[in-house]
Structure 1
């Protein structure tokens, strides 16, 4: 069943959230997104609202503010418990307060608490985040404005935290949405595409490196807004050097220049002409009840389970003869087509195709941990590297536990993940591919399914790259500290991003270089990029903040691994988060209206948006 919901009062009356405007600034491969949410309390009593919403999993939230009347309150980033205590104190004393925090279970879920809005009071809340844009099979860059936050299934006995706030109510969606997009790039912009109706693209200069476009008025925000940006010469390696902040503490990340390197490793032609026909292909299909929901809220939407089956059938018919394969279905329990992987031939393919067509979304909850444990316990086939393909709408509550398991077995397989339908957890889908040295795709319709599916299969058939290393060559007096996690997967022509901090000064050449070296079929390969060490343009600290968010992610993994240094790692994370002004699992944004001299009196009406996209309508089963 498809339910729409939004902010509602205890009497199920609509909403203090009236409108949303979104401004997107795309620079090359990075987007800075500012969303402004207009609230009004139409009740005759004070209001406290709860808003649970999705953001991209690796987004760096860097600004949060609230404008009440003529006063704008810019939030501070503080240690999470201290921020919560300050919020509770403010609300209990009748002050208007706002708290924004990241879920501890899944990095793509956030909670916004709006406290003590007086009767008739208006509040405009602005949230800014920075995110990398993913590269699609046709080389487009994908930006997604999520309209949905699907409920997350939490196994019995597991803590859910913010994820447990996700539920649903039936209602109409009274919000309006305006969206404008500005694109700038060193390479000419070829085109912008979307399934949503856009106004005509306007180029702002003669070489087509600057452009703007708006979402057409009257847009019904019942599905995600996807935007695909196409550049000319998109596979050119690039380096952006961003200057540090002069007032930052010396030696800190924010004080020094930071570089973002975009590389597109190219394999020798003789290697690409002889792709392997070997491998063990294990397909893991989500058959939980939520897969019986529609792909989106528009007319004629396909069921998620049917889309997953179509994707799987296409892959099955494309496997090389002589490889091994098996198919698992999971929900509250799991089963497999064969006791163990079998040789792929006409007979086993026909058996599998028949069983796939009979699959239904009839297996209960979304518990993916146990089937993965079982698969990893199975012995691998010599000379047939294991390739895991996971199809899910991502509605799990124990995301970080699943990702830890995949990372612990990353040496025995590669993991390719498909997010089925709108609202699929970006933290789970992209995390599975990152930790499993594979690639992620989101399937939200049928028009782009085939190229996405076949790209993942081509990647799976490419030989495994090992012994990957990154080496910097810079003048004397300068050192480079890599901030990104080690690169653990390379695919032909697929973008690899590296963040690094540049320290020191040199009177010599201002040019440096970075080399990625790796072994491919036991042959050493080197890809190199030369770049200028001097800052190139004012990018508004977006590179520093993405680098900080990447480093925070590495620290979080270390923390979850446990050990005696957990408290020290947490302290480092909080310090880096506050210095860089970006979110982490241990910090939260807190804003209190200290301009209002009159405290709010009377009992609070509590409202919540359980299953709410930041910008519109959720899907719910």
Structure 2
């Protein structure tokens, strides 16, 4: 165990010291190979994990993907043997994984979670055994600056998010986790990288760099994103994608001028450092682009919301001066990320009218929003005819959130490198919103069976188009044009098809979407990758332990943590207005170690009822007398032991006010169902007895 003052973590040691060489050994490392072709990228992301524990483990590692990305394939190397994971329905893959776990066979399950997260489940990896998992990822590059700049982005860490997520298995975090990587970028055409998240050794068609998996990988270069569009056929399906551009027929008169803006700035603690500093520069640049006739307002948020003006005002000299003064005083000092409150407050300052209005949100998105909150924001934005645009800034942007908000009414969503293109992006982004073309007014030479475009086209800020078929061109009198067609083959055709199909599935029912995903061999919310080693020796997994491989704390967060408090400082966990990651908050369940461990397992880990045997409860530290009484109650009422144990934990938490999330409570109540009153009374008596002893 690793202990940091009063902050005890239940992770196995993550950095091991070799006695022979006195060097640090990291259990996780990565190698990344990226290929660039036009606006497409294919990444081969190899994760190497070694079980340095003394017993077999079942481990879970979380990762994120860019929104315009698809997981094309998964290959596994274990015990010097190679496997290719199969695509199955989510339910069938989970069943195979569980059966492999019980049969003590090595297995890997890759699945999509909610909130834009993915999980790699590694089952029955023996002590000192290594495994290599290679993910092949296709993505469409992000175009900015009038389509003249392309950006590659690969999330490598998931920052702690403010609020409660919707996943049973949430990422864990560890301050001292350091996972090294080496990366190469190969391009079909020579590129010159202008901005990057890491120090790059540049070549003609090959760029190399290395570092730690503690911040997202960004790199940008000059290119013409609208020169070509890509078409491909795979598994009997034909799709295309690309960035359109204004045609020679496009005039400013074709645009609909929009003259009301509200800018909402995230000033929570996680925005400190370069993020807030460059945001201030970007806002001042934005003010230079907006003419005086435009009405504007500015709000900031953290745990509360501050709005500069009662209502939007024309950008006169006095208002411009007040805005600059407000921007100059901005710091990331407003605590937690209460983004829902801020969005509602900002939307309510905008009038109910038919005129289109824009709300530009600049945030790192390190927050969770539930469906009900998103529905309320959607209703309010539609009522006031507001389009929400989001700029995600930072090295671990929650891209899932910023895209959800932008999708409400066809807004733009851009994730940017704070050291690179933030200022230029915000400047051109704001300028482009001064005029847009409704996509419904755009004519095509031949309408495809299915077409995915933003509800509005912003000529200065291109968004990709996805469609079925092999040809797409605007009509002669259309305001936009497509570039030259590039027909892809092999893995590039597969990339085109899967990327477009990911968008297509958003318009399909579950049955059709699942059938399409299985046909194309893609991982989606309906399908998973599964690998089971049915040929090698079985693993003696009687004493198997479960663990979450924690995320490395982001490089920018380390300085933020230092500014919060000393590492050994105690903090009242009920104080949630500070934007402090959960791993720094004091555990309020002190004195109930075994029960707290069981609660944490229910809350965080992949939990199976069959694992809660008497031996397992004893191993977790539950008293021998308590376990024997739980067994007696289970036998007396002919119910499973885990049901009685869950009821015991639930009632004990109520008696002693142990902290337990709503998610855990719901899981327990669902599992135990309707029980006999006499059984509940027996368990309550046991709890009262244990409570009196304490």
TM-score bracket for the superposition, by shorter chain length: 0.7 to 0.9
| Alpha-carbon distance between aligned partners in 2 of 1:489 and 1:401, rounded to the nearest angstrom | 26
The aligned residue for residue 514 of structure 1 is 473
| Alpha-carbon distance between aligned partners in 2 of 1:80 and 1:62, rounded to the nearest angstrom | 16
1:284 to 261, 264, 286: 264
- For the pair 1:114 / 2:122, whether they are aligned, the reply is yes
- For the pair 1:127 / 2:138, whether they are aligned, the reply is no
- Give runs of aligned pairs for residues 163-312 of structure 1, distance below 5 A: 165-173=170-178, 175-184=179-188, 189-195=190-196, 196-202=198-204, 211=205, 213-216=206-209, 219=211, 222-231=214-223, 234-236=225-227, 238-245=228-235, 255-266=236-247, 271=252, 279-292=259-272, 294=273, 302=274, 304-312=275-283
1:97 to 83, 103, 107: 107
C-alpha offsets along residues 489-524 of structure 1, whole Å, 9 cap, x if unaligned? 212254443333339xxxxxxxx652269xxxxxx7
| Alpha-carbon distance between aligned partners in 1 of 2:199 and 2:325, rounded to the nearest angstrom | 39
1:481 to 439, 449, 462: 449
The aligned residue for residue 492 of structure 1 is 459
C-alpha offsets along residues 149-208 of structure 1, whole Å, 9 cap, x if unaligned? 1112225xxx5215x6234222151x3322222222xxx545334433333423xxxxxx
| Alpha-carbon distance between aligned partners in 2 of 1:544 and 1:514, rounded to the nearest angstrom | 18
The aligned residue for residue 19 of structure 1 is 29
| Alpha-carbon distance between aligned partners in 1 of 2:51 and 2:31, rounded to the nearest angstrom | 19
Residues 91, 97 of structure 1: 8 Å contact kept? yes
Moved more, 590-599 or 31-40: 590-599
Give how far 1:142 is off.
0.6
Q: Cα 1:617–1:165, aligned 2, differ >3 Å: closer, same or farther?
A: farther
TM-score with structure 2 length normalisation? 0.70
Residues 386, 414 of structure 1: 8 Å contact kept? yes
SS in 2 for 1:573: helix
SS in 1 for 2:497: helix
- Structure with more relative contact order (C-alpha pairs < 8 Å, separation 6 or more): 1
The aligned residue for residue 641 of structure 2 is none
SS in 1 for 2:367: coil
Residues 157, 213 of structure 2: 8 Å contact kept? no
Give how far 1:48 is off.
2.0
Residues 260, 499 of structure 1: 8 Å contact kept? yes
Give how far 1:606 is off.
2.7
| Alpha-carbon distance between aligned partners in 1 of 2:343 and 2:319, rounded to the nearest angstrom | 23
The aligned residue for residue 508 of structure 1 is none
Give how far 1:45 is off.
0.8
Residues 147, 616 of structure 1: 8 Å contact kept? no
CA RMSD of aligned residues (A): 3.5
The aligned residue for residue 299 of structure 2 is 328
Q: Cα 1:78–1:226, aligned 2, differ >3 Å: closer, same or farther?
A: same
Q: Cα 1:374–1:493, aligned 2, differ >3 Å: closer, same or farther?
A: closer
The aligned residue for residue 445 of structure 1 is 418
Give how far 1:335 is off.
3.6
C-alpha offsets along residues 563-593 of structure 1, whole Å, 9 cap, x if unaligned? xxxxxx2222222222222222232222121
SS in 1 for 2:192: strand
Moved more, 461-470 or 324-333: 461-470
Residues 394, 417 of structure 2: 8 Å contact kept? yes
Residues 226, 243 of structure 2: 8 Å contact kept? no
Residues 71, 595 of structure 1: 8 Å contact kept? no
SS in 2 for 1:81: helix
C-alpha offsets along residues 294-340 of structure 1, whole Å, 9 cap, x if unaligned? 4xxxxxxx3x3333333334334543224322222233443422332
| Alpha-carbon distance between aligned partners in 1 of 2:60 and 2:158, rounded to the nearest angstrom | 14
- For the pair 1:346 / 2:346, whether they are aligned, the reply is no
Residues 387, 409 of structure 2: 8 Å contact kept? yes
Give how far 1:22 is off.
1.1
Residues 31, 181 of structure 2: 8 Å contact kept? yes
The aligned residue for residue 146 of structure 1 is 155
- For the pair 1:551 / 2:504, whether they are aligned, the reply is yes
Give how far 1:264 is off.
1.2
| Alpha-carbon distance between aligned partners in 2 of 1:606 and 1:59, rounded to the nearest angstrom | 30
SS in 1 for 2:534: coil
Residues 32, 45 of structure 2: 8 Å contact kept? yes
SS in 1 for 2:283: helix
Over alpha carbons, which structure has the higher Rg? 2
Higher strand share: 1
| Alpha-carbon distance between aligned partners in 2 of 1:576 and 1:257, rounded to the nearest angstrom | 12
SS in 2 for 1:370: helix
1:604 to 526, 539, 544: 544
Give how far 1:9 is off.
4.3
1:80 to 90, 94, 110: 90
Residues 269, 332 of structure 2: 8 Å contact kept? yes
Q: Cα 1:70–1:616, aligned 2, differ >3 Å: closer, same or farther?
A: farther
SS in 2 for 1:306: helix
| Alpha-carbon distance between aligned partners in 2 of 1:170 and 1:243, rounded to the nearest angstrom | 46
Give how far 1:11 is off.
4.4
| Alpha-carbon distance between aligned partners in 2 of 1:171 and 1:381, rounded to the nearest angstrom | 51
Q: Cα 1:23–1:470, aligned 2, differ >3 Å: closer, same or farther?
A: farther
Question: Paired residues, what number?
Answer: 540
| Alpha-carbon distance between aligned partners in 2 of 1:240 and 1:279, rounded to the nearest angstrom | 36
- For the pair 1:416 / 2:389, whether they are aligned, the reply is yes
Residues 471, 515 of structure 1: 8 Å contact kept? yes
| Alpha-carbon distance between aligned partners in 1 of 2:376 and 2:174, rounded to the nearest angstrom | 34
Moved more, 448-457 or 374-383: 374-383
Residues 162, 336 of structure 2: 8 Å contact kept? yes
Give how far 1:431 is off.
4.0
The aligned residue for residue 371 of structure 1 is 342
Unaligned 5+ segments in structure 2 are 17-24, 562-580, 582-694
Unaligned 5+ segments in structure 1 are 203-210, 246-254, 295-301, 474-478, 504-511, 518-523, 556-568
SS in 2 for 1:257: strand
Give how far 1:546 is off.
1.0
Q: Cα 1:536–1:485, aligned 2, differ >3 Å: closer, same or farther?
A: closer
SS in 2 for 1:453: helix
Give how far 1:530 is off.
8.8
Q: Cα 1:87–1:545, aligned 2, differ >3 Å: closer, same or farther?
A: same
